């Protein structure tokens, strides 16, 4: 890595523009994203012989979604038993493949499902070898902590000689003739610009939870990776498939968005009621309720029925429903709940008051909030995009899960990360490209400088909140065309009238939150527009995409991915049919819940939560 | 009826511009179960966009520990410290301030 100071434009016209410096960094592989996918990719690229720099938007090993995860690593039960866990010796690749594809309503990229299942045992084995602590296991999963995974990967990345940059954002990629040449970055703390000369990129920026309010994600997950990859020409797809987690805490403000109650409900059971105290799950098929509350199927099933209640005017003051322990005896409930939340504490979060509420038989308001993105950057089985030198891994990809994810995203990030990093590293060590164009870097700098000097206009946090709340309403578990169309209109208006007039209150370079927020907002708007237009385009209901006006799952016309091709000033929507590899595709139309039940009951006879 | 408010005094200092630090007062409406982080979010979003606190990354749920600071002089996480009355919010290390509540940490910011 070469670092040098370059003074730019010492005599420029505006005083504020003076003394602007850009740091220069040269590396073979730039890994963008400091979660599990990014770290695993960085280690693999380094092992392939490349110089690797990993960009972490926030603190090392403490940003992205991974540290927040419970966390479960899923794989087929036979492989798990071969690794020395009880697992499920009667499980097979075929059974696990069947289950991922039926959980995904057949919209899965079957080659990526194959890659997921094939690579998973090796990724788990190596993590254990690197010292990962495992809490407990079941048929198809081990449970650990996201922080444990991150700490394991961090020490491995350090030992491998990966260069780590914390509190750094990449704002755009530079390409020439369809090939990555560089990246434009910002040191968040100092406000200094960073010019990267690179041969390959692994994009691993995770989801874009921050585009919604409320949400369950870290404050850094604003989707700039998917947006900048798309600006660089990469196809993105299935953006309409957005998983809402059910039973997320909506009160008090200090715990807003925590999935603690979701985890508790999964382990300990309990009861959901509406504002009238009615147990509304009784209205649904008992088998669906059993499967759809006892496994991670609940994310789609319970979120859907929660929104039914809320839309019928039976929700609580925070727009949710109520969760309590119901008939479960307190001792049993507490024992199960504290398996992952020992003594009702999780890190610095003290949930004892919540435990007291449950003990007293009281309920707390919970609801559905955005949690996982099934779509993203389109990749092939080598995790290449259609831009040479640009790879992608983890949640920011259009991954293996189709229309609905039940198997673990922790496994996804690791199997993707390793393969993407290895391939990017191998590509980078034998490739050579031109230098990134100074004029392009200057163009990006000027855009930020223009904003930094706009001291009157609209306040960024207000525009952002308006967009986030509208996104939560329009792109939730139940969608209708008029809300989606109004949302697209709102985005158009904000883009035309408000984004150009965003202003900052302070022209300081040091930790200028408003500048960061403005950059994030523009990226979030790009992805929201992609999701809303894709949701309007997909005239059927499948997985986590339910349309009130098209309530059937249409296997005759919609077993295809929604692909967005970059154009000069936006995108064009195309489709790509699903190619069966190990499992043939169904035909015909079926009402949404019937299809869900069919998919649930297609599950093989292996126990556990996946 | 006016909602109950609290006076939140926040440490303000930009070493590149200011001669010395100061405490700035903000009136923040109190809601039940709000944290110091919720108060900072309220100030930044509604009262003063110049305020810097570690917000561009972090979990707000007591896991990443990146919002550590001093609440009425005591070290703690802003995101998991309840606010019920007038409160002083300061950075953990006043001599390493980058801006306001954001301060320089150890090598490459790792735990």
| DSSP single-letter state for residue B1 | -
Q: Across chain B, how many H-helices and E-strands are there?
A: 1, 7
Question: CA torsion sign, A504 to A509 to A511 to A516?
Answer: positive
**Tokens standing for A75?**
């794989």
Interface test with chain B among A19, A56, A59, by most B beta carbons within 10 Å:
A59
Q: How far is CA A589 from the centre of its chain?
A: 30
Instruction: Mark yes or no for CB contact A465/B79 under 8 Å.
Output: no
| DSSP single-letter state for residue A109 | -
Q: Could you tell me which residues are beta bridge partners of residue A169?
A: A186
Q: How far is CA B93 from the centre of its chain?
A: 13
Q: How far apart are CA A468 and CA A487, in angstroms?
A: 11
**Which residues, 6+ apart, have CB-to-CB distance to B46 below 8 Å?**
A461
Q: Could you tell me which residues are beta bridge partners of residue B80?
A: none
Instruction: Mark yes or no for CB contact B56/A188 under 8 Å.
Output: yes
CB atoms within 10 A of CB A572: 9
Q: Can you tell me the ipTM of this complex?
A: 0.95
The CA distance from B83 to the nearest CA of chain A, in Å, is 10
Query: What pLDDT does A20 receive?
Result: 62
3-state secondary structure A10-62: CCCCCHHHCCEEEEEEECCEEEECCCHHHHHHHHHHHHCCCCEEEECCCCCCC
pLDDT means per 10 residues, chain A with 610 residues, are 36 44 94 98 98 97 92 96 97 98 98 98 98 94 95 98 97 96 97 97 98 93 97 98 97 94 94 97 94 92 97 96 97 94 91 97 97 98 98 98 97 98 98 93 95 95 97 97 98 97 95 97 98 98 98 98 96 98 97 97 90
Do residues B12 and B102 lie in contact, with contact meaning Cβ atoms separated by under 8 Å? no
Query: What pLDDT does B111 receive?
Result: 37
In terms of CA atoms, which chain A residue is nearest residue B79?
Answer: A254
pLDDT > 70: what percent of chain B?
Answer: 94
Instruction: Mark yes or no for CB contact B99/A63 under 8 Å.
Output: no
pTM comes to: 0.95
Do residues A50 and A119 lie in contact, with contact meaning Cβ atoms separated by under 8 Å? no
Q: How far apart are CA A449 and CA A426, in angstroms?
A: 37
Widest CA span in chain B: 50
Q: How far apart are CA A26 and CA A207, in angstroms?
A: 27
Question: Pairing relation of β-strands A390-392 and A200-203?
Answer: parallel
Alpha helix segments (H runs only) across A61-202: 77-82, 93-103, 110-129, 146-160
**Interface A:B, Cβ pairs < 8 A:** 149
Backbone φ, ψ for residue B56 (5° rounding):
-75, -15
Q: Both ends of chain B: CA-CA distance in Å?
A: 46
Which among B49, B62, B77 has CB closest to A504? B49
Instruction: Mark yes or no for CB contact A253/B35 under 8 Å.
Output: yes
Closest to A244 in 3D by CA, of A299, A296, A206 = A299
Instruction: Mark yes or no for CB contact B52/A251 under 8 Å.
Output: no
The CA distance from A516 to the nearest CA of chain B, in Å, is 7
Mean pLDDT, chain B, whole residue set:
92
Q: pLDDT (tens digit, 9 = 90+) per residue, B55-96? A: 999 999 998 888 999 999 999 999 999 999 999 999 999 999
Q: How far apart are CA A43 and CA A421, in angstroms?
A: 7
List of chain B residues whose C-beta atoms are within 8 Å of the C-beta of residue A356: none
Query: What pLDDT does A12 receive?
Result: 39
């Amino acid at each position: 890595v070469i670092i040098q100071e370059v003074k730019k434009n010492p005599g420029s016209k505006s005083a504020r523009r003076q003394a602007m410096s850009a740091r220069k960094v040269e590396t073979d592989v730039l890994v963008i994203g400091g979660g599990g996918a990014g770290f695993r990719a960085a280690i693999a690229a380094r092992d392939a012989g490349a110089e690797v720099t990993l960009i972490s938007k926030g603190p090392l090993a403490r940003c992205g979604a991974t540290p927040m995860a419970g966390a479960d690593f899923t794989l087929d039960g036979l492989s798990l038993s071969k690794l020395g866990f009880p697992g499920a010796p009667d499980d097979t690749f075929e059974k696990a493949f069947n289950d991922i594809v039926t959980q995904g309503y057949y919209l899965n990229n079957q080659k990526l499902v194959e890659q997921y299942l094939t690579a998973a045992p090796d990724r788990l084995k190596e993590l254990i070898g690197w010292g990962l602590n495992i809490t407990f296991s079941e048929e198809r999963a081990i449970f650990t902590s996201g922080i444990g995974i991150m700490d394991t990967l961090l020490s491995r990345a350090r030992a491998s000689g990966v260069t780590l940059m914390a509190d750094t954002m990449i704002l755009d990629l530079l390409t020439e003739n369809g090939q990555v040449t560089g990246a434009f970055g910002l040191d968040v703390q100092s406000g200094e610009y960073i010019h990267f000369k690179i041969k390959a990129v692994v994009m691993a920026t995770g989801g874009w939870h921050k585009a919604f309010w409320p949400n369950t994600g870290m404050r850094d997950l604003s989707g700039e990776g998917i947006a900048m990859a798309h600006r660089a020409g990469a196809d993105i797809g299935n953006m309409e498939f957005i998983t809402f987690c059910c039973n997320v805490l909506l009160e008090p403000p200090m715990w807003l968005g925590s999935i603690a109650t979701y985890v508790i409900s999964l382990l300990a059971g309990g009861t959901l009621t509406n504002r009238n105290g009615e147990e509304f799950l009784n209205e649904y098929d008992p088998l669906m309720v059993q499967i759809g509350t006892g496994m991670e199927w609940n994310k789609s099933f319970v979120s859907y029925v929660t929104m039914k209640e809320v839309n019928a005017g039976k929700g609580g003051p925070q727009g949710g429903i109520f969760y309590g322990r119901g008939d479960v005896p307190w001792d049993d409930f507490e024992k199960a709940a504290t398996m992952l939340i020992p003594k009702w504490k999780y890190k610095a979060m003290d949930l004892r008051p919540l435990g007291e509420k449950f003990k007293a038989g009281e309920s707390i308001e919970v609801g559905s909030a955005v949690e996982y993105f099934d779509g993203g950057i389109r990749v092939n089985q080598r995790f290449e995009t259609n831009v040479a030198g640009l790879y992608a891994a983890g949640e920011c990809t259009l991954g293996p899960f189709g229309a609905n994810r039940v198997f673990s995203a922790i496994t996804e990030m690791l199997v993707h990360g390793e393969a993407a990093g290895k391939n990017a590293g191998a590509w980078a060590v034998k490739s050579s490209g031109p230098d990134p164009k100074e004029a392009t870097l200057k163009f990006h700098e000027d855009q930020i400088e223009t904003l930094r000097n706009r001291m009157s206009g609209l306040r960024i946090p207000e525009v952002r909140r308006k967009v986030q709340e509208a996104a939560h309403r329009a792109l939730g578990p139940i969608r209708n065309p008029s809300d989606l169309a109004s949302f697209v209109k709102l985005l158009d208006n904000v883009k035309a009238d408000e984004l150009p007039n965003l202003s900052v209150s302070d022209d300081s370079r040091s930790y200028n939150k408003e500048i960061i927020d403005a950059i994030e907002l523009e990226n979030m708007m790009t992805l929201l527009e992609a999701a809303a237009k894709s949701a309007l385009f997909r005239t059927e209901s499948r997985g986590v995409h339910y349309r009130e006006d098209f309530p059937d799952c249409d296997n005759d016309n919609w077993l295809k991915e929604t692909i967005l091709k970059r154009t000069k000033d936006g995108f064009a929507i195309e489709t790509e049919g699903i190619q069966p590899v190990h499992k043939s595709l169904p035909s015909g139309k079926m009402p949404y819940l019937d299809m869900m039940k069919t998919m649930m009951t297609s599950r093989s006879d292996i126990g556990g939560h996946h | 009826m006016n909602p109950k408010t609290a006076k939140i005094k926040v440490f303000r200092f930009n070493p590149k511009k200011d001669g010395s630090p100061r405490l700035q007062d903000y009136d923040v409406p109190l809601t039940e179960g709000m944290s110091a982080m919720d108060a900072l979010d309220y100030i930044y979003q509604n009262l003063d966009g110049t305020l810097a606190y570690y917000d561009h990354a972090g979990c707000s749920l007591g896991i990443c520990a990146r919002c550590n600071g001093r609440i009425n002089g005591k070290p703690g996480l802003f995101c998991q410290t309840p606010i019920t009355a007038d409160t002083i919010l300061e950075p953990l290390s006043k001599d390493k301030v980058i801006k306001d509540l954001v301060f320089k940490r150890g090598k490459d910011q790792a735990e």
